[in-house]
């Protein structure tokens, strides 16, 4: 067990000369809720894309629980234990809610079932299929989505879609959960609800969470520590209150 | 309710199984079918296998293959050749048929892997163009073979299998195709394939090995095209590469589109309908009129796809679709539980594919608006 | 030497035709992000329009009518078949495009019959070049292609409309925010592509004065291959790919042993290119936005 669940070392990427992120060092301890904030275009989502293998870092590297994951393809990184949600929700829209979550369970070893076994409808097929459905239902119950399980994902209201995306990510059994602007587009009531849900996930799943957010109140009320990015570099980091009151951070946000 | 779903899942097996039993009983008892009727039955079986296997790629994977006839061609030539070679040793019996079938299917599968690896790594319309190229390559290669190998432009003669029973084998093969394709789709592996269709980026992030599943679905589809090819060579006694051109691939695509993309039962119905129609039209529309059939295909493709996919028609579709109509007829319209359960059916739901983003190489926020389209705007 | 020169000129002129068709594919792909399968058949329509308007006895008039007719056709196809599907899945658009291609072919066959029609646009004859007889039509094709390419490049680089096209191909949403009429740009792109297709139809008739409803099918597919080889979305790429494919085709036809496999060779090149360099020679890698 490494000291940090996630550790990035001088992580950076440049797109043809443009340095979208450089020298980013983030250290997240187990069970933390960690915030990644910064103005638009600061490179927050880029960091998520680096951590999930969408982009390959051109500088530095990162470790999950002590294991270097740089250069792995996206699905392998997910198997190693990083799951994410997207800024603009990406669900499997024409599949039912429960099936969305079952896709998340797909590569869990306890639900293994080979193609041949499914084609021949051997007993294991029925067993895993039933077990997956049950597990998915449990997850949906936590997010208050059990009633909607047979609806198409695209027919869910916005707030529920966000929740479903988190449920699907959790289904992959991650060590680190990345949430990209989970409160975007939510009303104050829903946001409050979301804070509780995220804390609940941390506590009951023993989860470490890294999230991107614009809503400062949300961040201040939820995150243990934060990193503030601006123009792809780290502006400030550390304990949420201290980092937010850093003059450089205030300047970057208010402008000047 | 559970029963209802299951019934819907298995109705195609039941219909085709019953058909097979009844028809074979008649054939074995008295042999009342004339050869043209038998030929038509075989043709229908071939079409169903082709349409169902193509539906796997177009309807469930969300990629377009324009070389389905090419894979069929490979199966037909290789299967036919093996059958001809084995004829002196094994005669014309079922054993010969079985071995040829396995060889034809295996070679088609191999071609599927070879074509799939470069094409499926890429997003967008590449699979369409590569499979189209593959179909043309296959056609041109077999056309220029020597007399000793595949008989070139003249076509390969295949053994004259006893026609009286071939259609029974053909229908058994239809059942096997159906079982494999449906079992695949309704499993965790099929779920991974539909997830890729719905949102490839999210599928990757959820740990799905996208390349593996694309290749798997595509190869499975090619394999059954090969099976259809072998069947074709036995049914026609001769294999000519000219028959397996682009137009044939389009004809299979028309069946899938007409049946509703993502609907296996629809593909079966449309394959049967179009094959019957073709045979009927071939006698009515002769000479220059034969082109009217192509005109019909073209209109089917354009009108059905626009109707099913145009964003502007979405609310209209939701109100007046076949499912809603049936529910009304069956007086289920006030039963919300019923509606929910319909959503759980594999065969009904994904008839239209709204995945504007996953196939395109770059995505602008503009495009996404239409996709979330359910209060998702922010 | 003789063989070399004649193959070179034939290859270049065929390549020029491919390049011209490939431009239509690549521009539409770059701007509307769709593979316009019916593009090849616009060539055929252009050919038939020339055939019809040759009744005026003036080749120039026939060509003008054909170009105008194809432009109208291209814009109509876009408006009727593709525009309703904007925002729908690329698969749906692709299948519709195939349907349109099929529709044009069968309509042409219904109107003009399945037999080939002879169209003699203009008799250029041949001249002596370094002691080698060369078809003048090939030289004319080559010359017109070069002029068209230069004009098109200048148009895109230096006019307001051309720059707007680049903007739309880079980022549709941003272009719209900058006040560019995206729908208008897409229509213009289809119009330009169709005009080029009409010219390609003319060149085919100069090469061999006979036309059928499938005239455009194979050249269309090959030109798309050329566009992919050069790098889809790239205008210089379309030119490079077209010339390359034209040369390969002409050389392959000259070698008896492989002549029958010419089509197979060209398509194999496509598959190999996609395997080793998926973006083609000059295409740039597009980063997906996540």
Q: Give B214-261 pLDDT, tens digit per residue.
A: 999 999 999 999 999 999 998 888 888 888 988 899 999 999 999 988
Instruction: Determine which of A49, A82, A95 to mutate to test the interface with B (most B C-beta atoms within 10 Å).
Output: A95
Work out the minimum CA distance from B204 to partner chain A, whole angstroms: 5
pLDDT tens digits along B253-308 = 999 999 988 889 999 999 999 999 888 887 777 766 778 888 988 999 999 999 88
Over residues A156-162, mean pLDDT: 90
Could C287 and A86 be called an inter-chain contact, meaning their C-beta atoms sit closer than 8 Å?
no
> What is the arithmetic mean of pLDDT over C13-34?
92
Q: Given a cut of 80, is residue B371 above it in pLDDT?
A: no
Neighbours of C149 (CB within 10 A): 20
The DSSP annotation for B196-232 comes to HHH-HHHHHHTT--HHHHHHHHHHHHHHHHHHHHHHH
Question: CA–CA separation, A48 vs A209, rounded Å?
Answer: 12
Please indicate whether, in this complex, the C-beta atoms of C290 and A15 are within 8 angstroms of each other.
no
Strands A67-68 and A27-28: unpaired
First to last CA, chain C: 56
Q: What is the pLDDT of residue B195?
A: 96
Cβ of B128 under 8 Å from any chain C Cβ? yes
- Which DSSP helix (H) or strand (E) runs through B118? helix B94-120
Containing domain of residue A49, as a range?
A: 1-81+174-256
**pLDDT confidence of A59, banded at 50, 70, 90?**
very high
Nearest CA in chain A to C286: A15
CB C178 within 8 A of CB C261: no
Asked if residue B354 has pLDDT above 50, the reply is: no
Question: Considering only A138-142, B197-201, B222-226, B313-317, which range has the smallest mean pLDDT?
Answer: B313-317
Tokens of B306: 């626009």
Average pLDDT taken over every residue of chain C:
89
Give yes or no for residue B1 having a pLDDT over 60.
no
Residues 30-89 (A) with a CB less than 8 A from some CB of B: 52, 54, 73-75, 78-79, 83-84, 86, 88-89
Is the model's pLDDT at B327 over the cut of 80?
no
Q: Write the CB contacts of C46 (distance below 8 Å, at least 6 apart in sequence).
A: C66, C67, C69, C70, C197, C198, C199, C200, C201, C202
Q: CA distances (Å), B328 to each of A102, A231, B223, B324, C110, in order? A: 32, 58, 40, 6, 42
| Separation CA C175–CA C181 (nearest Å) | 8
Whether residue A134 lies inside any domain: the answer is no
Spell out the domain ranges in chain B. Answer: 2-361
- pLDDT per residue over A6-58, tens digit each? 999 999 998 877 888 999 999 999 999 999 998 888 889 999 999 999 999 99
pLDDT at B378 over 50: no
pLDDT at C271: 85
Query: Regarding predicted confidence, which is higher, B7 or C225?
Result: C225
How does strand A18-24 pair with strand A59-64? Answer: unpaired
| C222-239 residue pLDDT tens | 999 899 899 888 888 999
Evaluate if residue B346 carries a pLDDT over 60: no
Mean pLDDT (whole number) for C52-59: 90
| C64/B322: higher pLDDT | C64
User: Can you give the pLDDT at residue B377?
Assistant: 32
Confidence at residue C107, expressed as pLDDT on a 0 to 100 scale: 94
CA distances to A109, A118, A125, B183 from A122, rounded to whole Å, are 18, 7, 6, 11
* pLDDT at position B103: 96
pLDDT digits (tens, 9 = 90+) for C78-94: 999 999 998 888 899 99
Report A:94-123 residues touching B (Cβ under 8 A). 94-96, 99, 102-104, 106-107, 111, 113, 115, 118-121
- Residue B330 confidence (pLDDT) above 70: no
The answer to whether position A36 is within a domain reads yes
Q: Which of the listed ranges B220-229, B345-354, C206-215 does the model predict with the highest average pLDDT?
A: B220-229
CATH number, position A196 = 3.40.50.300
Rounded to an integer, the average pLDDT of A200-229 is 91
Per-residue confidence (pLDDT) for residue A52, from 0 to 100: 95
Question: Which residues of C are less than 8 Å from A55 in CB distance?
Answer: 287
C147, pLDDT greater than 90 = yes
| A136: in domain | no
Instruction: Name every chain A residue with its beta carbon within 8 A of the beta carbon of C290.
Output: 45, 49, 54, 86
Which residue in chain B has the smallest CA separation from A101?
A: B206
Tell me what the pLDDT averaged over chain A comes to: 91
pLDDT tens for each residue of C245-269: 999 999 998 888 888 888 889 989 9
The fold of B2-361 is ABC transporter involved in vitamin B12 uptake, BtuC (1.10.3470)
Which residue from C minimizes the CA distance to B205? Answer: C290
Mean pLDDT of B309-330: 72
- Given pLDDT bands bounded at 50, 70 and 90, which one contains residue C24? very high
Cβ neighbours of residue C24 under 8 Å, at least 6 residues apart?
Answer: C36, C39, C42, C192, C193, C194, C196, C197, C223
Chains touching A by CB (3 or more pairs below 8 Å): B, C
Instruction: Find the closest chain A residue to B59 by CA distance.
Output: A94
Within a 10 A sphere around the Cβ of C114, how many other Cβ atoms? 14
Q: Interhelix angle for B68-90 vs B210-236, to 10°?
A: 50
Over range A156-182, report the average pLDDT: 93
Question: What was the pLDDT predicted at B291?
Answer: 80
Residue that wins the pLDDT comparison between B143 and C185 = C185
Domain boundaries, chain C: 2-122+157-276
Residue C210 has pLDDT above 70, yes or no: yes
B341 pLDDT tier (thresholds 50, 70, 90): very low
Rounded to an integer, what distance in angstroms lies between the CA atom of residue B245 and that of residue B255? Answer: 16
pLDDT at res. C19: 94
How confident is residue B345, by pLDDT bands cut at 50, 70 and 90? very low
What is the structure's pLDDT at A1?
A: 64
Above 50 in pLDDT, residue B87?
Answer: yes
Beta pairing, strands C132-135 & C126-129: antiparallel
Residue where the block lists tokens 């539909």? B194
The pLDDT value given to residue C233: 83
């Amino acid at each position: 067990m490494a000291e940090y669940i996630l550790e990035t070392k001088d992580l950076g990427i440049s797109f043809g000369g443009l340095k979208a992120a450089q020298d980013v060092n983030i250290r997240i301890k187990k069970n933390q809720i960690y915030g990644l904030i910064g103005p638009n275009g600061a490179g927050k989502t880029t960091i998520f894309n680096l951590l999930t293998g969408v982009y390959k870092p051109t500088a530095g590297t990162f470790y999950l629980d002590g294991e270097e994951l740089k250069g792995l393809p996206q699905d392998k990184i997910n198997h190693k234990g990083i799951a994410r949600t997207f800024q603009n929700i990406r669900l499997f829209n024409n599949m039912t809610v429960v099936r969305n979550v079952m896709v998340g369970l797909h590569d869990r070893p306890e639900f293994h079932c080979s193609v041949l076994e499914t084609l021949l409808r051997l007993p294991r097929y029925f067993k895993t299929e039933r077990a997956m459905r049950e597990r998915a239902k449990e997850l949906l119950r936590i997010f208050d989505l059990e009633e909607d399980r047979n609806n198409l994902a695209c027919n869910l209201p916005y707030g529920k879609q966000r929740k479903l995306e988190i449920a699907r990510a959790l289904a992959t059994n991650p060590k680190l959960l990345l949430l990209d602007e989970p409160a975007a587009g939510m009303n104050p009531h829903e946001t409050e609800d979301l804070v509780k849900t995220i804390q609940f996930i941390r506590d009951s799943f023993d989860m470490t969470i890294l999230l991107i957010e614009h809503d400062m109140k949300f961040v201040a009320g939820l995150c243990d520590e934060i990193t503030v990015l601006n123009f792809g570099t780290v502006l400030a980091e550390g304990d949420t209150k201290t980092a937010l009151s850093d003059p450089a951070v205030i300047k970057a946000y208010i402008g000047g | 309710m559970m029963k209802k779903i299951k019934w819907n899942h298995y109705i195609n097996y039941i219909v085709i199984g019953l058909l097979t039993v009844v028809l074979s009983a008649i054939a074995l008892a008295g042999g009342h079918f004339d050869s043209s009727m038998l030929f038509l039955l075989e043709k229908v079986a071939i079409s169903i296998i082709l349409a169902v296997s193509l539906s796997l790629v177009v309807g469930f994977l969300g990629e377009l293959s324009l070389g389905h006839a090419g894979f069929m061609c490979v199966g037909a030539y290789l299967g036919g050749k093996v059958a001809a070679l084995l004829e002196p040793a094994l005669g014309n019996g079922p054993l010969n048929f079985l071995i040829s079938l396995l060889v034809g299917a295996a070679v088609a599968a191999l071609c599927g892997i070879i074509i799939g690896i470069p094409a499926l790594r890429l997003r967008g319309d590449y699979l369409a163009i590569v499979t189209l190229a593959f179909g043309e390559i296959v056609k041109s290669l077999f056309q220029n073979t020597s007399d000793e190998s595949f008989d070139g432009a003249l076509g390969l003669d295949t053994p004259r299998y006893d026609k009286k029973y071939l259609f029974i084998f053909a229908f058994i093969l239809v059942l096997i195709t159906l079982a494999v394709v449906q079992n695949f789709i309704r499993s965790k592996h099929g779920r991974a394939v539909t997830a890729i269709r719905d949102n490839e980026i999210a599928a990757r992030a959820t740990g799905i090995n996208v390349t593996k599943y694309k290749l798997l679905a595509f190869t499975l589809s090619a394999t059954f095209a090969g099976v259809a090819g072998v069947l074709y060579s036995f049914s026609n006694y001769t294999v000519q590469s000219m028959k397996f051109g682009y137009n044939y691939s389009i004809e299979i695509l028309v069946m899938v589109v007409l049946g509703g993309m993502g609907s296996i039962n629809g593909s079966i119905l449309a394959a049967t309908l179009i094959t019957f129609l073709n045979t009927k039209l071939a006698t009515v529309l002769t000479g220059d009129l034969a082109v009217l059939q192509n005109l019909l295909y073209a209109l089917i493709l354009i009108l059905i796809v626009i109707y099913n996919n145009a964003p502007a028609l979405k609310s209209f579709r939701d109100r007046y679709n076949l499912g809603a109509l049936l529910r009304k007829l069956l007086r289920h319209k006030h039963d919300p539980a019923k509606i929910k359960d319909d959503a759980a059916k594999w065969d009904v739901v994904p008839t239209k594919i709204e995945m504007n983003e996953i196939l395109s190489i770059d995505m602008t926020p503009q495009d996404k608006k239409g996709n979330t389209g359910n209060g998702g705007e922010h | 030497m003789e063989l070399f020169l004649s193959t070179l000129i034939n290859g270049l002129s065929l390549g020029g035709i491919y390049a011209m068709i490939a431009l239509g594919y690549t521009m539409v792909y770059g701007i509307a992000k769709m593979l316009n399968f019916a593009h090849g058949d616009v060539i055929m329509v252009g050919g038939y329009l020339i055939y019809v308007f040759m009744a005026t006895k003036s080749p120039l008039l026939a060509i003008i009518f054909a170009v105008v007719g194809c432009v109208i056709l291209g814009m109509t196809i876009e408006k009727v078949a593709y525009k309703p599907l904007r925002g729908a899945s690329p698969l749906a658009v692709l299948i519709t495009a195939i349907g349109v291609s099929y529709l044009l072919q069968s309509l042409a066959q219904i109107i003009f019959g399945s037999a080939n029609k002879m169209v003699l646009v203009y008799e250029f004859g041949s001249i002596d070049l370094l002691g080698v007889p060369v078809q003048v039509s090939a030289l004319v094709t080559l010359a017109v292609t070069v002029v068209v390419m230069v004009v098109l490049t200048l148009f895109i680089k230096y006019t307001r409309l051309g720059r707007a096209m680049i903007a739309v191909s880079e980022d549709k949403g941003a272009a719209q925010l900058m006040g560019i009429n995206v729908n208008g740009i897409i229509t213009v792109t289809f119009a330009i592509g169709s005009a080029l297709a009409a010219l390609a139809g003319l060149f085919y008739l100069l090469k061999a004065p006979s036309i059928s409803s499938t005239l455009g099918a194979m050249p269309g597919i090959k030109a798309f291959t050329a566009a992919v080889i050069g790098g889809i979305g790239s205008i210089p790429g379309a030119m490079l790919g077209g010339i390359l494919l034209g040369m390969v085709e002409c050389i392959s036809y000259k070698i008896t042993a492989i002549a029958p496999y010419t089509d197979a060779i060209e398509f194999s090149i496509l598959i190999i290119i996609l395997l080793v360099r998926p973006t083609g020679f000059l295409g740039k890698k597009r980063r997906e936005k996540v």
